[in-house]
């Protein structure tokens, strides 16, 4: 779908979207159309429950006195309701309500709203962003789609005052959407197509944006001592990979690259549970157990795409967790890159083993200002928070607060859970430095305590995104399927706090 911004005005054909505020008061554009159609919009409002509240829509088909196919009247609510997030949701609703546009063109005639905090241009750019996010589809493997099952909308045109400013602002938002779409694509791919090597190659494509990408094979990781990560993948015929991505968009100090910030992702491209095998029901969902790595890769694309003025490192550990003659066994002891030994009591608690080596590697090589890791780590976080928040664990209050604020800004919400010595003791092992599970209770917390043992004193946060990586229903800006939860959140974290 092409999105464009044009000079304020009303179209003569196709579908036009106009607005109303609370109490059903029509915007200037809507009022002009109402007059042209002999009061058709006013009659439609009187004959319906439409009151101009946010989220409300009303359609008038082929109004008399025009050549328009349809007028879509959308509610903005009260002026104070017209936030960035509400405009994005409005854009998503406009797309969903007009995707079968017969002529392929939808025009939004957008008027400024008195007392609103957003200008017409700001509203326009956010509406466009929301519509773009909602337009995502993953149908590359559908070979018999009927025309009526495909979106017909080809162009979304937004007419407003200050359209040049809207176009400029949307330029950066479009790059963020590119990162979101990349993540959604990766998470949606089937596991016979996306496995450690092919996922690493997808990350490699980011080099065209100026990102430096290094891919480590098993022999290199073995020399580095990554016994925890390699142990997870040893039952698979697919070789494991570690991918390191560097975007150096920030300032240099005395000819050197300034200290970076770092994001680390779990990339289990398929998780059977290994020898501690999962139940068969729902196992197909485990193709998106690489969601954390997908977010990190998509985030790097978004940051490089919009030329973020910051130095960022993205590291993802990529494995496939399979049963087999050489698979890791419950009871095995592995030695991590840090030198700490781990007793593997459950091979389905594998993501933390991958992250242990990835976090230690990132800490030792880059010595970043902070590290944030993302992982679809525990089913326990779904029991705790469902699909409405991701779990947040951190050793640093400032980083935790900044992450929480960024999540609120983009409506990818986090909820902080505790870390303490009492929980840490639950993963002590009798025969190794630690064990990879801590018992029946507090499963998400003990997983986070495990990770904390590999980060040292560096400010660090762990986001458990198991409940928010995949959606079974449509939301205004997130169609069902892969959500890319975390890309916009972390992009906002960077833009709010770390760009110079």
Do the beta carbons of residue 450 and residue 336 sit within 8 Å? no
Question: Dihedral, CA atoms, 362, 366, 367, 372, nearest 10 degrees?
Answer: -50
Between CA 300 and CA 494 the distance in angstroms is: 11
Do the beta carbons of residue 44 and residue 73 sit within 8 Å? yes
Catalytic residue numbers read 278, 352
Q: Residue 290 corresponds to which tokens in the numbers above?
A: 């690489």
Q: In terms of C-beta density within 10 A (0-12 exposed, 13-18 middle, 19 or more buried), how is residue 125 classed?
A: buried
Among 187, 173, 192, 207, smallest CA distance to 84 is for 173
Do the beta carbons of residue 97 and residue 66 sit within 8 Å? no
DSSP states along 81-106: G--HHHHHHHHHHHHHHHTT-TTSEE
Between CA 435 and CA 352 the distance in angstroms is: 11
Backbone angles phi, psi at 225, to 5 degrees: 85, 25
Among 464, 197, 470, 215, smallest CA distance to 351 is for 464
Biggest CA-to-CA distance, the chain: 84
Q: Which residue is listed with tokens 């430096």?
A: 212
Q: Which residue is listed with tokens 């944030």?
A: 372
The H or E element containing residue 32 is helix 28-36
Sign of the Cα torsion 274, 278, 280, 281 reads negative
Q: Which residue is listed with tokens 């007793």?
A: 343
Among 370, 240, 391, smallest CA distance to 316 is for 240
Q: Where are the alpha helices (DSSP H) in 245-350?
A: 291-305
Among 457, 430, 427, smallest CA distance to 442 is for 427
Among 135, 66, 146, 126, smallest CA distance to 97 is for 135
- Kindly give the pairing relationship between strand 25-26 and strand 13-21: antiparallel
CB-CB neighbours of 251 under 10 Å: 11
Between CA 330 and CA 360 the distance in angstroms is: 24
CA distances from 159 to 5, 29, 130, 266 (A): 6, 10, 16, 43
Do the beta carbons of residue 304 and residue 206 sit within 8 Å? yes
């Amino acid at each position: 779908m092409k999105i464009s911004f044009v000079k304020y005005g009303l179209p003569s054909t196709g579908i036009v979207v106009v607005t109303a505020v609370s109490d059903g008061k029509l915007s200037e554009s809507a009022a002009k159309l109402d007059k042209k159609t002999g009061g058709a919009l006013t009659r439609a409002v009187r004959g319906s429950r439409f009151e101009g509240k946010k989220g409300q829509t009303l359609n008038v088909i082929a109004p008399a006195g025009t050549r328009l196919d349809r007028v879509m009247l959308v509610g903005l609510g009260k002026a104070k309701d017209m936030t960035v997030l509400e405009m994005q949701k409005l854009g998503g609703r406009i797309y969903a309500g007009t995707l079968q546009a017969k002529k392929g063109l939808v025009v939004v005639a957008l008027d400024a709203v008195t007392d609103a905090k957003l200008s017409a241009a700001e509203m326009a750019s956010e509406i466009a962003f929301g519509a773009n996010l909602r337009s995502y589809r993953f149908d590359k493997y559908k070979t018999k789609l009927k025309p009526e099952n495909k979106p017909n909308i080809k162009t979304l045109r937004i007419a407003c005052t200050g359209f040049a400013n809207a176009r400029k602002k949307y330029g950066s938002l479009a790059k963020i959407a590119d990162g979101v779409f990349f993540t959604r694509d990766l998470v949606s791919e089937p596991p016979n197509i996306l496995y450690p090597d092919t996922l690493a190659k997808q990350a490699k494509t980011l080099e065209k944006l100026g990102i430096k990408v290094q891919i480590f094979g098993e022999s290199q990781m073995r020399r580095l001592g990554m016994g925890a990560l390699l142990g997870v993948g040893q039952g698979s015929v697919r070789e494991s990979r570690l991918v390191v991505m560097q975007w150096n968009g920030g300032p240099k100090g005395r000819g050197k690259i300034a200290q970076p910030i770092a994001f680390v992702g779990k990339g289990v491209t398929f998780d059977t549970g290994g020898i501690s095998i999962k139940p068969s029901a729902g196992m197909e969902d485990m193709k998106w157990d690489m969601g954390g790595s997908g977010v990190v890769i998509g985030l790097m694309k978004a940051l490089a795409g919009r030329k973020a003025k910051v130095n960022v490192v993205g590291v993802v550990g990529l494995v496939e967790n399979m049963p087999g003659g050489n698979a890791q066994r419950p009871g095995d002891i592995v030695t991590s890159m840090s030198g700490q030994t781990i007793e593997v009591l459950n091979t389905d608690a594998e993501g933390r083993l991958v992250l242990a080596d990835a976090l230690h590697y990132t800490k030792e090589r880059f010595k970043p200002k902070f590290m944030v890791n993302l992982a679809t780590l525990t089913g326990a976080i779904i029991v705790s928070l469902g699909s409405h928040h991701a779990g947040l664990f951190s050793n640093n209050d400032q980083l935790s607060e900044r992450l929480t604020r960024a999540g609120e800004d983009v409506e990818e919400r986090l909820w902080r859970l505790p870390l303490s010595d009492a929980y840490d003791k639950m993963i002590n092992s009798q025969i190794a430095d630690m064990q990879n599970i801590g018992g029946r209770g507090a499963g998400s917390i003990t997983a986070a305590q495990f990770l904390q043992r590999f980060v040292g004193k560096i400010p660090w946060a762990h986001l458990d995104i198991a409940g928010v990586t995949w959606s079974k229903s449509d939301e205004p800006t997130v169609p069902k399927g892969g959500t890319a939860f975390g890309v916009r959140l972390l992009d906002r974290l960077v833009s709010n706090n770390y760009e110079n």
